[in-house]
Amino acid sequence: MPLDKFVLILVIVIAAAGITVWVATMVAAVVQFPLGWFAVIPAMLVAYVVWRVIADRLGSAEDDRYDRMDK
- pLDDT by residue (tens digit) across 7-56? 989 999 999 999 899 888 888 877 787 776 777 778 888 889 998 988 88
Q: Strand runs (DSSP E) across 1-71, as ranges?
A: none
> Looking at residue 70, what DSSP letter applies?
-
The domains of the chain are located at 3-66
- Which amino acid is located at 70 in the chain? D
CA distance 60 to 71: 21
| Cα 3 → chain centroid | 22
Task: For residue 54, give the nearest of 5, 7, 15 by alpha carbon.
Answer: 15
Which pTM does this prediction carry?
A: 0.50
Longest dimension (CA), the chain: 57
